[in-house]
Amino acid sequence: METVVSGIRSTGNLHLGNYYGALQNFIKMQNEYNCFFFIADLHSLTTHPTPADLHSNVKQVLVEYLAAGIDPEKATIYVQSDVPEISELYLYLNMNAYLGELERATSFKDKVRANPDNVNAGLLTYPVLMAADIIIHKATKVPVGKDQEQHLEMARTFGNRFNRLYNHEYFPEPYAFNYSSNLVKIPGLDGKGKMGKSEGEGNAIFLCDTPEAIKKKVMRAVTDAGPTTENQTKPQEIQNLFDLMKVVSSADTVAHFDDLYNKMAIRYGDLKKQLTEDMIIATAPIRDRINAIAGDADYLRKVAAMGEEKARASASKTIREVREIIGFKKF
Protein backbone atom coordinates (compact mmCIF):
# COMPACT_ATOMS: atom_id res chain seq x y z
CA MET A 1 0.00 0.00 0.00
CA GLU A 2 1.29 3.47 -0.88
CA THR A 3 2.14 5.89 1.88
CA VAL A 4 0.60 9.35 2.20
CA VAL A 5 2.10 12.13 4.33
CA SER A 6 0.72 15.55 4.97
CA GLY A 7 1.71 18.21 7.44
CA ILE A 8 -0.72 20.59 8.96
CA ARG A 9 0.62 23.91 10.13
CA SER A 10 -0.51 24.83 13.61
CA THR A 11 -1.61 28.35 12.82
CA GLY A 12 -5.19 29.45 13.39
CA ASN A 13 -8.49 27.63 13.27
CA LEU A 14 -9.77 25.46 10.47
CA HIS A 15 -12.28 27.10 8.16
CA LEU A 16 -14.77 25.78 5.63
CA GLY A 17 -12.17 26.09 2.87
CA ASN A 18 -9.77 23.79 4.75
CA TYR A 19 -12.59 21.40 5.48
CA TYR A 20 -14.09 21.03 2.01
CA GLY A 21 -10.80 21.63 0.19
CA ALA A 22 -8.28 19.49 2.11
CA LEU A 23 -9.81 17.59 4.98
CA GLN A 24 -12.40 15.71 3.00
CA ASN A 25 -9.52 14.41 0.89
CA PHE A 26 -7.67 13.26 4.00
CA ILE A 27 -10.75 11.50 5.30
CA LYS A 28 -11.12 9.61 2.05
CA MET A 29 -7.42 8.78 1.85
CA GLN A 30 -7.29 7.27 5.32
CA ASN A 31 -9.45 4.43 4.02
CA GLU A 32 -7.26 3.76 1.00
CA TYR A 33 -3.64 4.44 1.95
CA ASN A 34 -1.14 4.16 4.74
CA CYS A 35 -1.65 7.72 5.98
CA PHE A 36 0.51 9.88 8.22
CA PHE A 37 -0.97 13.25 9.15
CA PHE A 38 1.11 15.35 11.48
CA ILE A 39 0.94 18.69 13.21
CA ALA A 40 3.92 20.71 12.04
CA ASP A 41 4.99 22.30 15.30
CA LEU A 42 8.71 22.27 14.49
CA HIS A 43 7.96 24.30 11.38
CA SER A 44 6.09 26.83 13.50
CA LEU A 45 9.27 27.63 15.47
CA THR A 46 10.46 29.87 12.64
CA THR A 47 8.13 32.55 14.02
CA HIS A 48 9.14 32.05 17.69
CA PRO A 49 5.82 31.28 19.40
CA THR A 50 5.66 31.43 23.21
CA PRO A 51 5.52 28.02 24.93
CA ALA A 52 1.88 28.59 25.86
CA ASP A 53 0.88 29.57 22.32
CA LEU A 54 2.82 26.68 20.82
CA HIS A 55 0.98 24.15 22.93
CA SER A 56 -2.49 25.62 22.51
CA ASN A 57 -2.03 25.83 18.73
CA VAL A 58 -1.02 22.19 18.53
CA LYS A 59 -3.98 21.17 20.66
CA GLN A 60 -6.38 23.21 18.55
CA VAL A 61 -5.26 21.51 15.34
CA LEU A 62 -5.38 18.06 16.89
CA VAL A 63 -8.90 18.65 18.25
CA GLU A 64 -10.23 20.06 14.99
CA TYR A 65 -8.78 17.34 12.78
CA LEU A 66 -10.19 14.63 14.99
CA ALA A 67 -13.53 16.43 15.15
CA ALA A 68 -13.61 16.73 11.37
CA GLY A 69 -13.24 12.99 10.93
CA ILE A 70 -9.60 11.94 10.87
CA ASP A 71 -9.70 8.57 12.54
CA PRO A 72 -6.66 7.73 14.68
CA GLU A 73 -7.43 4.02 14.22
CA LYS A 74 -7.05 4.39 10.45
CA ALA A 75 -4.49 7.16 9.96
CA THR A 76 -1.44 7.89 12.05
CA ILE A 77 -1.96 11.37 13.47
CA TYR A 78 1.00 12.72 15.41
CA VAL A 79 2.84 15.77 16.61
CA GLN A 80 6.02 16.40 14.60
CA SER A 81 8.16 17.23 17.65
CA ASP A 82 7.25 13.85 19.19
CA VAL A 83 9.32 12.19 16.46
CA PRO A 84 12.97 13.28 16.89
CA GLU A 85 14.03 11.06 13.97
CA ILE A 86 12.62 13.74 11.66
CA SER A 87 15.06 16.29 13.05
CA GLU A 88 17.90 13.85 12.60
CA LEU A 89 17.06 13.22 8.94
CA TYR A 90 16.74 16.99 8.49
CA LEU A 91 20.33 17.36 9.66
CA TYR A 92 21.59 14.78 7.16
CA LEU A 93 19.62 16.29 4.29
CA ASN A 94 20.93 19.75 5.17
CA MET A 95 24.44 18.61 4.26
CA ASN A 96 23.34 18.31 0.66
CA ALA A 97 21.01 21.26 0.39
CA TYR A 98 22.64 24.28 -1.21
CA LEU A 99 22.30 27.92 -0.33
CA GLY A 100 21.48 28.93 -3.89
CA GLU A 101 18.56 26.58 -4.35
CA LEU A 102 17.18 27.36 -0.88
CA GLU A 103 17.33 31.09 -1.52
CA ARG A 104 15.46 30.64 -4.80
CA ALA A 105 12.43 29.01 -3.15
CA THR A 106 9.39 31.21 -3.67
CA SER A 107 8.10 30.72 -0.14
CA PHE A 108 11.46 31.82 1.27
CA LYS A 109 11.52 34.95 -0.87
CA ASP A 110 7.94 35.75 0.20
CA LYS A 111 8.81 35.37 3.85
CA VAL A 112 11.93 37.50 3.55
CA ARG A 113 9.86 40.21 1.95
CA ALA A 114 7.17 39.96 4.63
CA ASN A 115 9.54 39.75 7.62
CA PRO A 116 12.94 41.19 6.72
CA ASP A 117 13.92 41.26 10.41
CA ASN A 118 13.51 37.52 10.95
CA VAL A 119 15.38 35.78 8.15
CA ASN A 120 16.61 32.84 10.24
CA ALA A 121 18.25 29.65 9.00
CA GLY A 122 15.15 27.65 9.92
CA LEU A 123 13.20 29.68 7.42
CA LEU A 124 15.84 29.11 4.75
CA THR A 125 15.87 25.35 5.35
CA TYR A 126 12.09 24.97 5.72
CA PRO A 127 11.96 22.90 2.49
CA VAL A 128 14.63 20.57 3.88
CA LEU A 129 12.59 19.90 7.01
CA MET A 130 9.53 19.39 4.84
CA ALA A 131 11.45 16.90 2.71
CA ALA A 132 12.48 15.05 5.90
CA ASP A 133 8.83 15.00 7.02
CA ILE A 134 7.85 13.24 3.84
CA ILE A 135 10.69 10.88 3.05
CA ILE A 136 11.14 9.72 6.65
CA HIS A 137 8.09 7.51 5.94
CA LYS A 138 9.13 6.89 2.32
CA ALA A 139 5.88 8.49 1.22
CA THR A 140 5.00 8.78 -2.46
CA LYS A 141 1.76 10.75 -2.18
CA VAL A 142 1.43 14.14 -0.56
CA PRO A 143 -1.97 15.83 -0.44
CA VAL A 144 -1.17 19.54 -0.66
CA GLY A 145 -2.32 22.58 -2.57
CA LYS A 146 -0.71 24.18 -5.62
CA ASP A 147 1.38 26.48 -3.45
CA GLN A 148 3.41 23.50 -2.20
CA GLU A 149 4.46 22.17 -5.63
CA GLN A 150 7.88 23.76 -5.42
CA HIS A 151 8.51 22.31 -1.96
CA LEU A 152 7.64 18.86 -3.27
CA GLU A 153 10.00 19.26 -6.16
CA MET A 154 12.72 20.11 -3.65
CA ALA A 155 11.80 17.05 -1.58
CA ARG A 156 12.35 14.91 -4.68
CA THR A 157 15.65 16.67 -5.33
CA PHE A 158 16.93 16.08 -1.79
CA GLY A 159 15.85 12.44 -1.75
CA ASN A 160 17.38 11.77 -5.16
CA ARG A 161 20.58 13.54 -4.18
CA PHE A 162 20.91 11.30 -1.14
CA ASN A 163 20.30 8.24 -3.30
CA ARG A 164 22.93 9.35 -5.81
CA LEU A 165 25.51 10.33 -3.21
CA TYR A 166 25.38 6.92 -1.58
CA ASN A 167 24.65 5.07 -4.81
CA HIS A 168 21.63 3.50 -3.25
CA GLU A 169 18.01 3.63 -4.54
CA TYR A 170 16.64 4.32 -1.09
CA PHE A 171 14.07 7.13 -1.04
CA PRO A 172 11.15 6.98 -3.48
CA GLU A 173 9.93 10.20 -5.12
CA PRO A 174 6.98 11.95 -3.51
CA TYR A 175 4.35 13.68 -5.66
CA ALA A 176 1.44 16.00 -4.93
CA PHE A 177 -1.78 14.11 -4.85
CA ASN A 178 -5.47 14.97 -4.61
CA TYR A 179 -8.71 13.48 -5.77
CA SER A 180 -9.30 15.92 -8.61
CA SER A 181 -13.07 15.76 -8.25
CA ASN A 182 -12.69 17.01 -4.70
CA LEU A 183 -10.86 20.17 -5.65
CA VAL A 184 -13.86 22.36 -4.91
CA LYS A 185 -13.30 26.06 -4.70
CA ILE A 186 -14.51 27.57 -1.45
CA PRO A 187 -14.77 31.34 -1.82
CA GLY A 188 -14.61 33.75 1.10
CA LEU A 189 -17.26 36.26 2.10
CA ASP A 190 -15.45 39.42 0.99
CA GLY A 191 -16.61 39.19 -2.62
CA LYS A 192 -13.11 38.35 -3.86
CA GLY A 193 -11.11 35.10 -3.99
CA LYS A 194 -10.92 31.99 -1.90
CA MET A 195 -11.66 31.63 1.77
CA GLY A 196 -8.58 32.22 3.89
CA LYS A 197 -7.71 33.11 7.43
CA SER A 198 -5.38 35.91 6.39
CA GLU A 199 -7.85 37.69 4.11
CA GLY A 200 -9.29 39.77 6.91
CA GLU A 201 -11.92 39.59 9.60
CA GLY A 202 -15.21 38.05 8.51
CA ASN A 203 -13.96 36.46 5.28
CA ALA A 204 -13.71 32.93 6.66
CA ILE A 205 -16.23 30.75 8.49
CA PHE A 206 -14.40 28.67 11.08
CA LEU A 207 -15.52 25.19 12.06
CA CYS A 208 -15.55 26.33 15.68
CA ASP A 209 -17.63 29.47 14.99
CA THR A 210 -20.84 29.70 17.01
CA PRO A 211 -24.12 29.89 15.07
CA GLU A 212 -24.31 33.59 16.03
CA ALA A 213 -20.84 34.24 14.61
CA ILE A 214 -21.74 32.43 11.37
CA LYS A 215 -24.90 34.47 11.06
CA LYS A 216 -23.08 37.74 11.59
CA LYS A 217 -20.43 36.93 8.99
CA VAL A 218 -22.86 35.71 6.32
CA MET A 219 -25.21 38.64 6.81
CA ARG A 220 -22.27 41.00 6.28
CA ALA A 221 -21.05 39.23 3.13
CA VAL A 222 -20.48 41.50 0.16
CA THR A 223 -23.35 41.69 -2.39
CA ASP A 224 -24.34 44.07 -5.20
CA ALA A 225 -27.50 46.08 -5.92
CA GLY A 226 -29.19 43.10 -7.58
CA PRO A 227 -29.66 41.79 -11.13
CA THR A 228 -30.69 44.35 -13.75
CA THR A 229 -31.65 42.01 -16.60
CA GLU A 230 -33.07 38.49 -16.68
CA ASN A 231 -30.66 35.55 -16.81
CA GLN A 232 -27.59 37.72 -16.48
CA THR A 233 -24.20 36.33 -15.48
CA LYS A 234 -23.65 36.72 -11.75
CA PRO A 235 -20.89 39.07 -10.60
CA GLN A 236 -18.22 37.38 -8.52
CA GLU A 237 -19.53 38.35 -5.08
CA ILE A 238 -22.92 36.83 -5.88
CA GLN A 239 -21.46 33.78 -7.60
CA ASN A 240 -19.39 33.25 -4.44
CA LEU A 241 -22.53 33.05 -2.29
CA PHE A 242 -24.04 30.56 -4.72
CA ASP A 243 -20.81 28.52 -4.68
CA LEU A 244 -20.94 28.37 -0.90
CA MET A 245 -24.57 27.39 -1.08
CA LYS A 246 -23.73 24.55 -3.46
CA VAL A 247 -21.51 23.12 -0.75
CA VAL A 248 -23.83 23.34 2.25
CA SER A 249 -27.36 23.44 0.81
CA SER A 250 -29.49 20.98 -1.16
CA ALA A 251 -29.59 21.13 -4.94
CA ASP A 252 -33.25 22.19 -4.73
CA THR A 253 -32.41 25.15 -2.57
CA VAL A 254 -29.67 26.30 -4.94
CA ALA A 255 -32.00 25.90 -7.93
CA HIS A 256 -34.71 27.87 -6.14
CA PHE A 257 -32.47 30.91 -5.55
CA ASP A 258 -30.91 30.60 -8.99
CA ASP A 259 -34.38 30.80 -10.44
CA LEU A 260 -35.24 33.87 -8.39
CA TYR A 261 -31.99 35.51 -9.50
CA ASN A 262 -32.71 34.82 -13.15
CA LYS A 263 -36.20 36.26 -12.81
CA MET A 264 -34.77 39.30 -11.01
CA ALA A 265 -36.92 38.47 -8.00
CA ILE A 266 -34.14 37.56 -5.59
CA ARG A 267 -33.80 39.12 -2.17
CA TYR A 268 -30.27 38.76 -0.93
CA GLY A 269 -31.47 38.89 2.67
CA ASP A 270 -33.43 35.67 2.10
CA LEU A 271 -30.52 34.03 0.33
CA LYS A 272 -28.22 34.89 3.22
CA LYS A 273 -30.69 33.64 5.78
CA GLN A 274 -30.94 30.32 4.01
CA LEU A 275 -27.17 30.11 3.57
CA THR A 276 -26.65 30.87 7.27
CA GLU A 277 -29.12 28.21 8.29
CA ASP A 278 -27.58 25.54 6.05
CA MET A 279 -24.05 26.43 7.11
CA ILE A 280 -25.01 26.08 10.75
CA ILE A 281 -26.58 22.68 10.06
CA ALA A 282 -23.61 21.50 7.96
CA THR A 283 -21.07 22.43 10.63
CA ALA A 284 -23.07 21.50 13.75
CA PRO A 285 -21.76 17.93 14.13
CA ILE A 286 -18.15 19.11 13.82
CA ARG A 287 -18.72 21.99 16.22
CA ASP A 288 -20.24 19.60 18.77
CA ARG A 289 -17.33 17.21 18.44
CA ILE A 290 -14.78 20.04 18.76
CA ASN A 291 -16.37 21.05 22.05
CA ALA A 292 -16.52 17.49 23.31
CA ILE A 293 -12.97 16.52 22.33
CA ALA A 294 -11.36 19.77 23.52
CA GLY A 295 -12.37 18.93 27.07
CA ASP A 296 -11.30 15.30 26.91
CA ALA A 297 -7.65 15.43 27.95
CA ASP A 298 -7.47 11.66 28.37
CA TYR A 299 -8.59 11.02 24.82
CA LEU A 300 -6.18 13.58 23.38
CA ARG A 301 -3.30 12.11 25.35
CA LYS A 302 -4.19 8.64 24.13
CA VAL A 303 -4.45 9.71 20.49
CA ALA A 304 -1.16 11.62 20.56
CA ALA A 305 0.65 8.73 22.26
CA MET A 306 -0.70 6.22 19.77
CA GLY A 307 0.32 8.43 16.85
CA GLU A 308 3.76 8.99 18.31
CA GLU A 309 4.32 5.27 18.68
CA LYS A 310 3.25 4.43 15.13
CA ALA A 311 5.14 7.35 13.58
CA ARG A 312 8.30 6.56 15.50
CA ALA A 313 8.15 2.92 14.49
CA SER A 314 8.18 3.97 10.85
CA ALA A 315 10.69 6.82 11.29
CA SER A 316 13.19 4.90 13.38
CA LYS A 317 13.36 2.13 10.81
CA THR A 318 14.29 4.70 8.17
CA ILE A 319 16.84 6.37 10.43
CA ARG A 320 18.47 3.03 11.25
CA GLU A 321 18.86 2.32 7.55
CA VAL A 322 19.99 5.83 6.70
CA ARG A 323 22.68 5.72 9.38
CA GLU A 324 23.93 2.48 7.92
CA ILE A 325 23.92 3.86 4.36
CA ILE A 326 25.81 6.97 5.48
CA GLY A 327 28.40 4.82 7.19
CA PHE A 328 27.87 5.39 10.88
CA LYS A 329 29.08 2.30 12.68
CA LYS A 330 29.31 1.22 16.28
CA PHE A 331 32.76 0.42 17.63
SS3 148: helix
Q: Binding ligand TRP by CB under 6 A: which of 7, 17, 227, 307?
A: 7
Q: Degrees (nearest 5) of the Cα angle 315, 10, 193?
A: 120
Binding to ligand TRP by residue 6, rule CB under 6 A?
yes
Does residue 194 have an active-site annotation? yes
8 is in an annotated binding site: no
Maximum separation of any 2 CA atoms in the chain, in Å = 84
**Is 273 known to be catalytic?**
no
Indicate the residue among 23 and 238 with the shorter CB distance to ligand TRP.
23
Q: Among residues 43 and 217, whose Cβ is nearest to ligand TRP?
A: 43
Query: Is 198 annotated as belonging to a binding site?
Result: yes
Q: Is 323 exposed, middle or buried (0-12, 13-18, 19+ CB in 10 A)?
A: middle
Closest listed residue to residue 25, CA positions, set 115, 160, 145, 198? 145
Is residue 111 among the annotated active site residues?
A: yes
| Contact map string, positions 100 to 139, toward ligand TRP, x by CB under 6 A | ------------------------------x--xx-----
- The radius of gyration computed from the CA coordinates of the chain, to the nearest angstrom, equals 22
Query: In whole angstroms, how close is the CB of 130 to ligand TRP at the nearest point?
Result: 4
Nearer to ligand TRP, 150 or 160 (CB): 150
- In sequence order, what are the beta bridge partners of 293? none
Q: Which of 5, 186, 214, 266 binds ligand TRP (CB under 6 A)?
A: 5
Q: How far apart are CA 298 and CA 319, in angstroms?
A: 31
Q: Which stretch binds ligand TRP (CB under 6 A): 1-9, 45-53, 254-262, 289-297?
A: 1-9
